[in-house]
Structures are given as structure tokens and as C-alpha cells.
Structure 1
Amino acid sequence: MTQETSPTSFPAWPDVAADLVNVAAGRSPADTVIRGGIWVNVHTRETLPDHSVAIVKGRIAFVGQNADHCTGPDTEIIEAAGRYMIPGLCDGHMHIESGMLTPAEFARAVIPHGTTSMFTDPHEIANVLGLDGVRMMHDEALMQPVNIFTQMPSCAPSAPGMETTGFEISADDVAQAMGWPGIIGLGEMMNFPGVSNADPQMLAEIAATQRAGKTVGGHYASPDLGPAFAAYVAGGPADDHEGTCEADAITRMRQGMRSMIRLGSAWYDVETQITAITEKGLDSRNMILCTDDCHSGTLVNDGHMNRVVRHAIDCGCGPLVALQMATINTATHFGLERDIGSVTPGRRADIILTSDLRTLPIETVIARGRIVARDGICLADCPHYDWPQRARQTVNMARDLGASDFDIPAPAGANAVTANVIGVVENQAPTRALQFELPVTDGRVQSHGDVCQIALVERHRATGGVTNALVSGFGYTGRMAMASTVAHDSHHMIVVGTDADQMALAANHLRNLGGGITLFRDGAELATVDLPIAGLMSDSPAADLAAKTDAMMQAMRDCGCTLNNAYMQHSLLALVVIPELRISDLGLVDVRSFEFVDVIVS
């Protein structure tokens, strides 16, 4: 370890079992007693009034109608005052990097929203810095006052042969990481064709995880629910969050997977899938709520898992069922139901006090027996990792770019062409494969109407490569360009614009800045979010970053974009494992067939 303060994990139940037993029996006083609340029992879906909770060494020792026998002269008393005592909320699948924050600042942002456990897949930083970057994320995660469990990334690159990443993750890397203290399982297995076709490396990664007794995360982003899906499930992934409709949720649960349904900043997949529970009556214990990707603006302005639970309730789910989907269901899936996910003896004392189960105001948050937030204010210390320079110098471009780097040549003599165009779908991860007829000027294909240029600029190995294509759906007008070094999952640089000169300005600005997001119009910088760590994250407070991202969103609107959370759509245009059409450093990818296609059709 290079850190002065090594990461620590929370003491295991056996280490404090004697203390728990003695407090529960009344032989020793509790450290803390929460008195006079309504016990929300997610094991039985009951609300039980006039209960108290006794806590020692950060764990729950006793829950009952009278905890006087656990109370001593030095016991801290927290008055629940008739409020509901619910378990701390769990996010079953998420990427901290999507918040553009480090684990410490992400924790500081979500603690006031009642999130006390997160299951994170740092595959974004894995693509930039490899196993070294994963270890940095893992180590900072273990330093936090809440539970951040790390899933070892499975796919860097996400689709071998379709993209080039800064680093690659091997089966040996996965096997090594399974011994780290904070690793809970394998991150989403995005190479679903590889699993379905028995790719040796993918199966070796899954095998290493299963031998360690840990959970394999899934990612099946295809509408084909026939033999290919059955083969994927047989390969070992235990959950999936890529469903978008009721049939997806039902099929996953019927095949023994947990269906994870997400509400992120731009993914609205709860309403279309929760009907499997609310209307079809399937067993709700096989469904889990998650966020997947939330940017800092959502965290600061709208919430985190509390937002997802409220949304599920608004979609017709009963409050207690929705709470199960964000607590005990998640804990059980990862084999942690004896450690987190409920307000019961032995579990970590992660408890929320709220006055209403439907609107879910997060009034007091207790994590590991200590008050960490009250009335929207984080009261806990969230320590920072000392991020080294190698994590802060990751934009490796060979040179400044010029307008000609963004040319799309047309066939000789053509006045117009038919072109393949990436079609953005609002509030959905998938794109559409579209075709448009576009004009040609001076031998170059031109943006026209709602069709913009898109470029993928190589930024890991200084090759100087630029891949050009076309995209529709942003609604941009005027001479503008937006560039980002957040470009899931390979995290090169995505540039979208209506004018090649502006595209060069934006790309070069990020090269000089060392990573982030920027938008230029008519030669002027309208907004910039600097992301110095891996070109993905900032260690600034979430509120500061949210102000910058709000300014970025406003700049996008000023340039004509009306999409909800359009930045998230921008950042995912290189995600070559979600259909239909994507861009990579190697070309334009048809994800339905995993084949490269030409930009110009005719």
C-alpha cells in the first residue's frame, strides 16, 4: 500500500458476537438506542409500532417494544418519535464514475439520501488505468463511513475486437482481485456474445468468481430471448439490468436471474418492467432496484436510491415491496442478508428515520450505528484517497487536431449520399440504426437538419486516430461542438458537433485541460466541467460539480438540445455492447451483428 492510511473494512459479525449477545440479554449496555419508532420489517412486510433498536459496536443487538434492559447511563438515545425505522437503502448496480465524482465525494452526496450500501462496478476507470485504477477505487471505497462493495470489472474492452482500451482486464486479474477485502463479485458481464458462444476468457473470469463464492453480474443487451439468452444464463451471470420492457423482466426472473430495474439520470426502465410485479403478480423478491448511472446534478437536485424507491411507488408498487427491492432483496442477492438489508439483530446498524413511507423524506440517516446525515446534510467524514499523478495525466493525444481531422469524405463526384446514422433514443440506453440522405460540399459529407457529426478521438496511446460518423437526435443548431473524455466504455474522447472547426477547438481544449467535458459555440467556450482523475472524475464536492454540470446542460439547451439528460446520451455513444449503432476507435459498429459498417451506404 502506498497510502499513509490503509483502507479498512467493517468488523465481521463473529468479531463482535459476544457484545451483541450480552447487550441483547441485558448483561451489557448498548452504545445507542433508537427509541419509540415504527419498525419496518422487510422480512415479513410488517410495520410494527412502539419499537426500539439497541446498537453496539455498529451492529444491531436487539429490536423490541422495550429496550430498557439494554440501556445504561452512557447509552446514547435517539428519539424516533413515532417515525418509521427502515433499513438503509442499497443500490444493487451502479458506476461511481458516472457521477463524475470519486468514491468519497459520491458517498458524501448520497448519504443524506439514505443510501448506505452500494454495489459498484468501476469498469470505467478499468478501461483507462486497468487493475491499478480498480484498486484505487476499491481502496477509497473501503475508507468510507458507509458500505461500498466493489465488483471486479469483467470486460475491458467490453467487446474485444470492436474497440481499443487503455488497458485490458484478464482472467488472471479477476482471480487476483477476488482476494481483495472489498470485492463482492464480478462486474456486469457485457460481452454477452462471448458468454453465449463459450469464449474461454469470459468463462474463466466467471469460474474464478464462482470458485471464490461470489456473485457474477450480468448485462444482456439484446432483445433476443431465445437460445442465445438461455446460453448466457447457463454461463453464470446471476442478474441483469439491461431490460427495458415487462417481457425482459419476466424472462430473467423465470430463468433464475434477479431482474434489476434501473432509474438513473437518463434510464427510465422501472415503469415498463415493474408491471411484472404489480400486474402479473410475480414474486417481488426476485426484483431489485438500482440506478446504474447517475450524474452529480441528479444526486444533488433529485436524490439517489430514495428517488428510485419513490418512483417505483409512483408506478404502482406498494411501499413495503419497493423497500424490499432496495434493501433485503439486494442484500440476499449478494449473499449479505445476514449483514445488511434489514433492521434485525446482527446486521449493520444502517437505519433511516422517515415520517412517511410513500413520499420517503430522509430525515435521519444512521450508518454503522452513528448518525451520518440529518435533514439533507451529511455529518460524516468521507476520507479521500491520495490520487497519484499517473491517475491525473490520462489524456494522451499525439497532437492538436484541426478541422480536416473531422472530414467525412464522399465518393468522387457525389452531390449527396445516403449515410448510416446513430439515432439517439431519449431516456433509453439503446440507439437506433438510421439512414439519412445528406448533402456533399467540396467532397465532404455535411451535417444537415438534425444530423450532426460525431468523432471518436483516441486518447489512451497517442495514436492520433480519429473515427468519424454521424448522429441524430440532439437537435443542435448553429456552429457548435461538445467534447467529453467520458465515453463509455472505452473512454476515448467523443466529440459531437455541427462544425468541424468547433469540434477541433473542443477536442484540443480537453487535451490541454487533462480531461472533462466542454462545449464551444462560434469559437467561444460556453461551459466546461474539468475531470482530472482518469478524465472521468473530480474530487471536488458534488455541489460544486453539479453547478458546473448544470451550466453544461444549459449550454446544450442554448445550442438547441431538448433531450432529457442529453449529456448521458452523449457519453454512451461509444458503448459498443448496447444496440443498435455505436462508434468506436475502430469504426462504426452495428451491435446487432457485432460487425463494422460503413458510414456511407451509397
Structure 2
Amino acid sequence: MKWDTQSLARFIEAAQGKRPVDLCLRGCQLVNVLSGQIEKVDLAVQDGLIAGWGRYPAQRTIEADGMYVCPGFIDGHIHIESTLLSPSQFCAAVLPCGTTAVVADPHEIANVLGREGILFFLSATEQLPLDFYFNLPSCVPATPLETSGAHLSGSDLYSLLPHPRLLGLAEMMNFPGVLAGIPQVLDKLVLFQEGVVDGHSPQLDGLALNAYIGTGIASDHECTTLLEAREKLSKGMTIMLREGSQSRDLATLMPVVDDRSWPHCMLVSDDCHPDDLLRRGHMNHIVNRAMGLGMDPIRALTLATWTPAHHFGLRRRGALAPGYRADFSLSPSLAPWNPLRVFKNGTEVAQDGKLTLDPASWQAPRLPASPMKLKRMAEEAIFVPRQDGMLRVIQVREGTLLTGKTLAAPATSTDGVTADVDRDLLKLVVYNRYLPDQRPSVAFVQGIGLKKGAIATTVAHDSHNLIAVGTSDAAIVTVAEAVRKNGGGMAVGSEHGDVEVLPLPIAGLMSDKPLIAVVQKLESLKAKARAWGSPLDNPFMALSFLALPVIPELKLTDLGLVDVSSFSLVPLFESADNS
């Protein structure tokens, strides 16, 4: 809050006990993340801030009866889009979990809508009872091997500043571009050198890591080994211990947190899928996971409150001390942390896992249009003529974004090269949804496992074109057409027209429906895909990453088949002449 002279004088009087405070929690056990101690106190709140603790007269009292109270959780790195929820529905979902602030990277919506997507996020989060901070996406587009909906230069990003909720530059994924000194990449680092710059440098070490960190990049959430985390920590990086839906590194990285290093570590989610959000929770789940792995409870809570606030310079947040925001949750136990009551700016916003507010009253801006320049689908557009040689085939692996590559003899008919269900050899198609009249790219994939029908989605990292996989051209076209008609979304169906769709009207990435409705529809889609033969826990998630040309080994973008090891486009057929 911003004080004027009168409100400041009122706060000073209340903090001294000379006038009743707005609220006092009697007999609570305060988790003091500044001292690392538990203190039994009466905690006073005035004008949305912590007035202090001691004996206070109060206009309203709550008997805490020995319940523990800790600061509101702060997720220091998340992509809101991964939840498939609009900002307001995300807010409604995580507030009951004790989360009161997030630092988000709008990388996905920016690759679809550019500046308009970032401005939508800023507008949609302006009046919500959750603090949304953003780092500006550094890689739009992510690579030159795909077509995204926008191109953001350093000056495009810098033009959005100053803004009180824009903190700096989001994860610099293009670490090869940094090390190669590519001017367009360096421009962004130069323009944001006075702000926070997040990193993304998997397996980078030695002299290359020195150069990367030396540019001012201050954090990393991609550590997957203890050795990697320790080197990055020793060279000045803040280590984000990630425990998300897709990547779960907490158990491996836990030993990096000790009595000396903890101020430079934090817990983050990165990606949180809607079904996990509903079933497990948000930062409360990650904190409890850390405790369950043996981390001291106070330290675990500190790494989800004080350390992210300190790293990002979020003043008056992340702790419960005089003058700090009165953002906190109460739990009957220290471990596990069960946020039965949640307060934001001193007002109770959730109780027993349910909001005490009405999300319908939250004003939201008009939804931006979801780009969909595609015209009606046609089977002839994905026809693959017979050729000499073997097919290059993408191999999907459960539980990892890495794909393999193999060679297979093509299945042919009078209709050209077709899917072969008996060999789990399905046709994979990427449609460019930003440019009209561009022919889709086609490849073949093993590991999706469908025996019938097709699935399609516009959640396709990082450019989010429309990607589909199926057992026949007719099935692929039918399901892709259903997604097109909805302006984006996820779908499963067959050539007979029985298609089930989860519409994602916000950029083809997010729904405007509540969490439980999104999860119910998503689980219905996944159940149908599994009933039709897919062995994958989440075939839509696996499909969404088959278009990501920065993770080995073989991927398909709208421009064609990408061999990630050579970072180049390769032919669909491998012969003696092009092997």
C-alpha cells in the first residue's frame, strides 16, 4: 500500500497499541522466517499490514488456538498457461492453497500473441486478490526452426517498462545465442541489465557457464544433478528447486540446501498442470514434498516465502514482521502444512480449501482473439507420396521430453504412405495456424499407441501451432477441424465425427472455465485416448512437446522434421543419398 500522512499516523498509533488494530490473531504460533524460530504470539494487522505482535486491543479477534501461521507462499517461477486456466481462475485455484504471489513468465502467450498477450496478462491480473509479477519473455520466437505468432525484440520488450509488476527478463533459454554473442540476444541482456534476469541453462558448466552467468543472469531452474546445482550456486546463481508436473528435481537437488546456501535457494513449480493443481495443490504441495524428503519445516517454508521475495526484490513480502504485507495462512500442524485459513492483505480469502470470495465479481478484460488462419482441413494436404528409403520416425518416451529417433519401412498403399497401427506407426501433422495457405508438415511417430482415431491440440511448445496425431488421415483431419472450429483447444475423436473437445479460447492455450470443469473435460479426453490404446499417462502433454525443437532428438515443427542434434531440418525419408 501507499501511505499518506493520515494513514501512516494511524498505523503508528495502532502498532504502539494506542488504538485498536483491525485484526488480532490470539495465541498463534508464528513461523518467523527471518529468525528461523517458532514464536507463540498475538499477531496484529492494521491497514493490510502486520502491525507487530504483543498485547493489542483489536476491532476483531481470531482465536488461533495454537495454529501455526506463516507468510503467503510465493512461486518464483511459473507459466500460468500450463494450468490451462485464465488468470482469474488460476487465482481462484491457488489462493486456497496459501499462495499469495507468483512471478510468472508469459512465454507461451507471447509466442502466440506477442505484446498483446503480455498486456492481456497485465490487465487481467490488475485487480485480483493475488500478486502477479512478470518477467518479460526473452525468446519469442524460441527458434528459427518454427513459425510463431509474434516476434519480440529487446526494444519491443523494453517499451513495456516501467511497470511496477514487470521485474525483468524471463528465462534466457537461448544460451547458445548468448555464448555466440548474437546481437539480437545480447540486446535484451543489455537493456535489462539493471533488472532481474532469469536463466535457463541445462547442463551448462565450466568456462561456458562463467560467460553465461557473467552477463548478469542470476538464477537457474533447469538443474537436474547435484553437481550442476553446486557449480551454479558457487558461481553466484540462485538455484530454483523445481517440483512441477513435468519436471520433478527436488529429491535430487535437496542436498544443495544447507545452513550456508539456503538464502540462495527457492522452491518453484515451473509448470503446474490443472489435474495436479486440483489433486495435489500448488506451493503447499511442494513445501510438504520438501518436508517429506527431510527438509527442516521452517526452512522449507522459508524457501517458498522469504527467499523468492528477497531474490526478486518484492518489498514488504515474504515474511511476517512489522510493516510487511499481511499475507499469510494458518495450519493446524507445522508439517505437513495444511492452509485451513488464508489471508491476503489482512482479509480472509479462503477457508477449508474454499474461497470466501466470489470470483464472478472479479472484472476481467475482453479475451483476446485466438489466432486461427487455417481454412477447412483436407486429407490431400497431408498426403505423403511413396518414396525410396526408410522413414525417419520420432520415438516418444513416457516421463521425459526427450524423444528418440529410428528408421522404419514405410507402410504404403494407393493412398501413399499411411499409418501402421500394428507397428504403432502413426502419422503426425503440424498445421501453421498463423499464416494462411501454408502446407502442413508431416512425420511419423511411435509411442503414442492409439489403435483408433486421433488427438489434436494447439498447446504445442513453443510456437503453439496445431499439432495432431492419428491412425488415419481421415481421423486426423476430422479432429484437427474440430480444434480449428473452436479457435484452439484439445480434442480426441475418430473419422466418424464423434469428437470431444476442450475449447481453449484464450490464445488456444487457456480456458475461461473454473479449474474443476477444465480438469473434468481434460480427464475425459485422456480417458478416451487411453481407451483407444494410448499407454501414456497424458498423451496430450506428450503430443504438445513433439513440436519443441530445442529438446533432443527428433521433433516436428510447421517447417518440417527437425534433427535437434544438428539443429537443422532433415528429410522425412533417409536414403543412401541423404543419410
| Distance in 1, Cα, partners of 2:206 & 2:536 | 33
Distance 1:386 1:405 in 2: 38
1:158 aligned onto 2:142:
yes
Letter in 1 for 2:541: M
Distance 2:61 2:560 in 1: 62
1:78 pairs, out of 62, 68, 90, with 62
Superposed counterparts of 1:580-599, under 5 Å: 580-599=553-572
Asked whether the equivalents of residues 590 and 597 of structure 1 are also in contact (C-alpha less than 8 Å), the reply is yes
Residue in 1 aligned with 2:381?
A: 405
Structure 2: runs of 5+ lacking an equivalent: none
Q: Which residue, out of 364, 367, 375, partners 1:385?
A: 364
Q: How far is 1:104 from its partner?
A: 0.6
Q: Retained in 2: the 8 A contact 1:406–1:466?
A: yes
Q: Any gaps of 5 or more consecutive residues in structure 1?
A: 1-9
In the other structure, the counterpart of 2:450 is 477
Maintained 8 Å contact 1:118/1:149 = yes
Among 195, 198, 201, the alignment partner of 1:220 is 201
The question of whether the paired residues in 2 share the 8 Å contact of 1:33 and 1:67 is answered with no
1:585–1:550 CA distance, 2 compared to 1 (3 A): same
2:477 to 504, 522, 530: 504
Which residue of structure 2 aligns with residue 230 of structure 1? 210
In the alignment, is the contact (CA less than 8 A) between 1:20 and 1:346 conserved in 2? no
Q: CA deviation at 1:13?
A: 10
Shift of 1:494: 1.3
Query: Does the CA contact (< 8 Å) of 1:263 and 1:270 recur in 2?
Result: yes
Residues 455 and 540, structure 2, Cα contact 8 Å, conserved in 1 = no
Whether the 8 Å contact between 1:152 and 1:174 is mirrored in structure 2 is yes
Question: Could you say if the C-alpha distance between residues 16 and 250 of structure 1 is closer, same or farther in structure 2, counting changes exceeding 3 Å?
Answer: farther
Q: Distance in 1 between matches of 2:116 and 2:506?
A: 13
Superposed displacement of residue 465, structure 1: 2.8
- Residues 15 and 130 of structure 1: is their aligned pair in 2 closer, same or farther, counting only changes over 3 Å? farther
Say whether 1:106 aligns with 2:108.
no
Structure 2 residue aligned with 1:46: 37
> Could you say which residue in structure 2 is the equivalent of 1:147?
131
Q: CA deviation at 1:15?
A: 9.8
Is 1:36 aligned with 2:17?
no
Deviation, structure 1 residue 408: 4.0
CA contact (8 A) 1:186 1:217 kept: yes
Q: CA deviation at 1:344?
A: 1.3
Tell me the alpha carbon deviations over residues 76-104 of structure 1, each in whole angstroms, 9 at most, x when there is no partner.
Answer: 21222101111111111111111111111
- Taking the TM superposition and a 5 Å limit, the aligned residue runs for 1:83-94 are 83-94=67-78
From the superposition, tell whether residues 167 and 202 of structure 1 become closer, same or farther in structure 2 (CA, over 3 Å): same
Residues 136 and 385 in structure 1, CA contact (< 8 A), matched pair in contact too:
no
Where does residue 4 of structure 1 map in the other structure?
none
Shift in alpha-carbon separation, 1:28–1:177, aligned structure 2, 3 A: farther
State the SS of the aligned residue for 1:352.
strand
Q: Separation in 2 of the partners of 1:82 and 1:405?
A: 67
The one of 306, 322, 337 aligned to 1:360: 337
Of 397, 411, 415, the match for 1:440: 411
Q: Measured at CA, do residues 345 and 420 of structure 1 come closer, stay the same or move farther in structure 2, by a change above 3 Å? A: same
Please name the residue that 2:158 is paired with. Answer: 175
Give the TM-score, by structure 2 length: 0.93
How many residue pairs end up in the alignment?
A: 570
Find the residue that maps to 2:481 and give its secondary structure: helix
Quick one: which of 309, 312, 316 aligns to 2:287?
A: 309
Q: Distance in 2 between matches of 1:124 and 1:586?
A: 19
- Output the CA distance in 2 between the equivalents of 1:131 and 1:564: 34
Alignment match of 1:261 (pick from 233, 241, 244): 241
Shift of 1:255: 1.9
Task: Give the partner amino acid of 2:138.
Answer: S
AA at the equivalent of 1:302: R
Question: In structure 2, do the counterparts of structure 1 residues 310 and 592 end up closer, same or farther at CA, with 3 Å as the change threshold?
Answer: farther
SS in 2 for 1:271: helix
1:7 aligned residue: none
Give the direction of change, closer, same or farther, for the CA distance of 1:191–1:525 in structure 2 (3 Å limit): farther
Aligned with residue 275 of structure 1, among 255, 260, 273: 255
- The one-letter amino acid of 1:434's match is K
Report the residue type matching 1:319 in the other structure.
P
Aligned to 1:23: 14
Structure 1 residue 236, shift from structure 2 partner: 2.4
- Which of 46, 51, 54 aligns to 1:56? It is 46
Structure 1 residues 527 and 274: CA distance shift in structure 2, 3 A: farther
Percent identical pairs in the alignment equals 35
Instruction: Tell me, yes or no, if the aligned pair for 1:265 and 1:568 is still in contact at 8 Å.
Output: no
**Cα deviation digits, residues 443-473 of structure 1 (max 9, x gap):** 4264453443322110012233311223333
- In the aligned structure 1, how far is the partner of 2:385 from the partner of 2:292? 50
Q: Distance in 2 between matches of 1:348 and 1:569?
A: 41
Q: Provide the rounded CA distance (Å) in 1 between the counterparts of 2:318 and 2:29.
A: 17
What TM-score, normalized by structure 1, do the two folds share?
A: 0.89
CA distance in 2, matches of 1:588, 1:18: 66
> 2: CA distance between counterparts of 1:512 and 1:307?
37
